[in-house]
Amino acid sequence: MSGRDQIEFSFNGKKIEAAPGQSVAGALLAGGQVELSRSAKYRRARGVYCAHGHCPNCLVRVDGVPHVRSCLVPARPGMLVATEGATGRRFDVYRSIGAFGRFFPVGFQYRWFKRQNLAWRLWEGRLRELAAETEIPASFEIPAAERLRADLLVVGAGPAGLGAAATAAKAGLHVVLAGRRARLGGSAAPAVSDGAASAELRQAIDLVRTATNVTVIAPGTVVAGFGDQYLVDRGDRVVEVTAAASVLATGAYERAVVFAGNDRPGVLLTSGLHRLVLEDRVLTGAQAVLVTENDTAYRLAGDLHRAGLGVRAIVDSRPDGPGPVADPPPDIEVLTGARVTRVRGRRRITGVVVETAGGRRTIRCDVVGMSGGWQRADELRYSATSSGDAVVDGQRATRIDPAGWEHAPLPVLQGVGAVTGTTDPGTAFAEGAVAGAWAAARVAGGTELIAGALAALRGGDVLGGSHG
C-alpha cells in the first residue's frame, strides 16, 4: 500500500495514520496507543478487548460525539478523536484509588457514598465524573429517526445473516440487513478479504451490496425489538425498522478466562485478537500466548501465525487438550492441564505466569488472547418477543431443520447460526439461506416464492457448500 493511500486523523491532538478500512481502535493500537479508557472504580487502564462492540473498553469521543466504540468505526480522514474524562491526562489523581483496592470489599460502590448524607453532594459530582467519564455537549440536536419498512429484517451480517438476506432478496423480498461492523462477513470476514471464502458467501455479499431491494445498515447495532419493530443504532441516528419477519443471526459472545490482570490492555478475547490481526492488520511481529478452555485458540492460532503474529504457546486448562483440530497450530508449544495465574509487566505486558503439574514458569509475550468458551448472543429474542417463547425450543433458539421445513409453523423470529449453537460457517450460511426462504414463504403466504428460493438455494449449492 502506498503512503498516499494512508488516512490521517487526529488523536488527542497527535497525528495518527490508518490504512483504508482500518478501525479507529486498530489504527490507535498500531500507533502505540494501548490505553483507551479507564475503569470507573479503580481507574485501571483499559484497551481493546473484544474488537466487536461488546464491551465499554474502547469508548472515545469522535468529532465531538461522546462514547463512540472505536473498534466499530472505520478511520476517516480528518476525524477528531479524543480520550474521554481523565484518561488522556498525564496525572489522574483518581488512579491512586487502585492502590487501596484491597481495602474495598467486593460490591463496595456508590450506595456507601449515598449513606453519607451531608457529603453526598460532594460525592455525587465526583462519582458522576468518574462513572460517565465524558462531558455531554451543552447543546446538541438529536437527529430525527429514519423509518424503514421491510419484508424481512436480518440482524447480523455474518455467514448466517448473509445467507438469509441474500436468499430472501433473490426471492424478491425487501430486506434490511443490520451488521454491527462495517465489514460484512462476521467471523468469515478475513477469508472474504483474502478471497478464501466460498463463492456462495462472496456472491451473497455482492448481492446484498448491489441489490436495490436490500438496505444494508453497517455498522448498525439493533438495540431493541418490539414485536415487528426494531431500533437500529446507526451511530449518527436511530433507524426504526418495521418488518413482517425477522431473522436473528447475532452470533455468540466469547467469554474471558479468570486470572489476575485479565483486564489489562494487551489481554484480549481470542476472537478480538483475530479481528485485529487479520482485519485491521495490527500486532504483526508481537509475541502472543493464547489461554484457552476450549478449541477456539487452536482454530485461530494458524491464522494468527500466518498473519505474522508469533504465537509462543497455547495454555489449555483441560488435561486432555483439544478435540480433533482441523488446522493444528504450527510448531507452537501446547501446555495442557495448565493455567495462567497472572500477567507480568507494569506498563506493558511482558509475560504470563503459568502453573503446570511440573511447577510454575513464566512465558514471555506482549499480548495475550483468552477464550473461556462461548455464550449465545440471544438477548434480542426476549426484547422482541417479551418472553423469547416464540423462538425458544428448550435451551436453544429455534433451529431450522431443512428436511420438511416448508410445512413447519412459522415463528415470528428465526434464530440461525451461532446464536443457535451452529459454529461452522458453511452450516450457518445454509441455515440462514433456509431461513431466508422461510421468510419468503411467511411474507408471501404462498408457494411460488418458496419454489424460487429453493431453486436459488439448490442452483447455488447453498445447502451443500463449504464456506470457510
Name which position in 18, 24, 28, 55 contacts ligand FES (CB under 6 A). 55
- Does residue number 434 form part of the binding site for ligand FES (CB under 6 A)? no
Please choose, out of 9-17, 45-53, 282-290, 324-332, the segment that lies near ligand FES by the rule CB under 6 A: 45-53
Site string for ligand FES, 17-36 (x = CB under 6 A): --------x-----------
Q: Given candidates 16, 27, 29, 48, which one binds ligand FES under the rule CB under 6 A?
A: 48
Binding mask 69-108 for ligand FES (x = CB under 6 A): x-x-------------------------------------
Tell the smallest beta-carbon distance from residue 210 to ligand FES (Å).
30
What's the closest the beta carbon of residue 290 comes to ligand FES, in angstroms?
Answer: 18
DSSP structure class, residue 227: T
- The region of 43-51, 324-332, 333-341, 431-439 touching ligand FES under the rule CB under 6 A is 43-51
Annotate 118-137 with b (16+ C-beta within 10 A) or e (fewer).
Answer: eeeeeeeeebeebeebbeee
Residue 270: name the closest of 371, 338, 158, 191 by CA: 371
Residue with Cβ nearer ligand FES (273 or 391): 273
Number of residues that bind ligand FES (CB under 6 A): 12
Quick one: which of 365, 254, 72, 26 has its CA closest to 34?
26
b/e sequence 209-243, b meaning 16+ C-beta within 10 Å: eebeebbbbbbbbbeebeebebbbbbeeebbebeb
- What is the number of alpha carbons within 13 Å of residue 91 lying toward its C-beta? 1
Q: Virtual CA dihedral for 374, 380, 385, 386, nearest 10 degrees?
A: 90
- By CB under 6 A, residue 68 contacts ligand FES: no
Please report how close the Cβ of residue 268 comes to ligand FES at its closest, in angstroms: 8
Contacts 24+ apart (CB under 8 A), 189-194: 189/275, 189/279, 190/274, 190/278, 190/279, 190/303, 191/468, 193/278, 193/279
Q: Which of 38, 43, 44, 54 binds ligand FES (CB under 6 A)?
A: 54
Which is nearer to ligand FES, 200 or 254 (by Cβ)? 254
Q: Which residues bind ligand FES (CB under 6 A)?
A: 25, 48-51, 53-55, 57-58, 69, 71
